[in-house]
């Protein structure tokens, strides 16, 4: 995995996020704060606009009193973390067997054409990133995609159009602009 060093500064955590991090760390015994790492990474990633720069990961290491390498190790293992900047809305289309049987390939192609990007790319206006994901656990309701925390199921081209419009109108929760 390639991590490009960028100019991104550390995010300024909101008071809510700080409190949430402290609450989560307390769920583990004294000295086991490293166990909170994934939750903390999710929280900080949200605060940082949907991705983790090396600088942001260093901040996570400081919060958890661990070495930066311990955060990098984890960040490069788990696929949910974005290590490059992403668009305001990230569409992750499930591509695994059960979804493929009901047409996920068509949805991916439709999105590529509609947004004029390939899987893995972000639109030039910074609005949308298109990704594929392995089985998201919605096999009876496919094709589907995840955007933020939300699942969008039983997708058709029409529903994809509606979703894109809803994003453009700001009705869907997107990544923070930082």
Partner 1 sequence: MGRKLLLEHADVPGIETFDVYRKHGGYRSVEKALKTMSPEEVVEEVKTATLKGRGGAGFPAGMKWSFIAKPEGVPRYLLCNADESEPGTFKDRYLMQYIPHLLIEGMIVSSYALGANQAYIYIRGEYMFVLRIVEKAIAEAYEKGFLGKNILGSGFDLDLSIAPGGGAYICGEETALIESLEGKRGNPRMKPPFPAVQGLWQCPTVVNNVETLATVVPIINMTAAEYTKIGTEQSKGTKLISAGGNVERGGVYEIELGLSVEEFIYGDEWCRGIKNGKKMKALVPGGSSVPILPAHLITKTANGDTRLMSYESLSDGGFASGSMLGSGGFIVFDEDQCIVRNTWNFARFYAHESCGQCSPCREGTGWMEKVLHRIETGKGNMRDIDLLADINKKIEGNTICPLGDAAAWPVAAAIRHFREEFEWHVTHPEEAVKRNYGMLKGVTA
Write out the binding residues: 94, 99, 135, 139
Taking CB under 8 A as the rule, does residue 137 contact partner 1?
A: yes
Residues in the annotated binding site for [2Fe-2S] cluster: 94, 99, 135, 139
**Which of 13, 119, 133, 166 is the binder for partner 1 (CB under 8 A)?**
133
CA–CA separation, 113 vs 108, rounded Å?
9
Minimum distance of partner 1 from residue 176's CB (angstroms): 16
Q: Which helix (H) or strand (E) holds 157?
A: helix 157-168
Closest CA to 52 of 38, 36, 67, 35: 38
According to the binding rule CB under 8 A, does residue 116 interact with partner 1? no
Exactly one of 62, 134, 161, 171 binds partner 1 (CB under 8 A); which one? Answer: 134
34 is an interface residue for partner 1 by CB under 8 A: yes
Rounded CA-CA distance 122/115 in Å is 9
The tokens of 150 are what?
Answer: 């939300």
For partner 1, the closer CB: 96 or 123: 96
Indicate whether 51 belongs to the interface with partner 1 (CB under 8 A): no
139 binds partner 1, rule: CB under 8 A: yes
Tokens representing residue 129 in the block: 């990133």
Site map 70..99 versus partner 1, x via CB under 8 A: x--xx--xxxxx-------------xxxx-
The 10 Å Cβ neighbour count of residue 68 is 15
138 vs 104: CA distance, rounded Å = 12
Rg of the chain taking only CA atoms, in angstroms:
17
Stretch that binds partner 1, among 8-16, 66-74, 114-122, 156-164 (CB under 8 A): 66-74
Distance CA 57, CA 83 (A): 10
Report in angstroms how near the CB of residue 177 gets to partner 1 at its nearest.
Answer: 21
């Amino acid at each position: 995995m390639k991590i490009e060093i960028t100019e991104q500064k550390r995010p300024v955590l909101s008071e809510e996020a700080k409190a949430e991090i402290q609450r989560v760390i307390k769920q583990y015994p004294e000295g086991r704060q490293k166990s909170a790492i994934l939750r903390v990474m999710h929280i900080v990633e949200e605060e940082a606009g949907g991705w983790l720069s090396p600088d942001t990961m260093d901040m996570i290491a400081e919060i958890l009193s661990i070495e930066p390498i311990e955060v990098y190790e984890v960040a490069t293992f788990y696929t949910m973390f974005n290590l490059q900047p992403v668009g305001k809305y990230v569409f992750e289309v499930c591509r695994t067997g059960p979804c493929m049987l009901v047409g996920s390939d068509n949805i991916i192609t439709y999105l590529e054409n509609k947004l004029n990007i390939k899987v893995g790319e972000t639109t030039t206006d910074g609005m949308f990133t298109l990704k594929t994901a392995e089985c998201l656990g919605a096999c009876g309701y496919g094709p589907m995609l995840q955007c933020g925390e939300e699942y969008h199921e039983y997708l058709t081209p029409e529903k994809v159009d509606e979703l894109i419009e809803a994003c453009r109108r700001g009705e869907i929760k997107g990544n923070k602009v930082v």
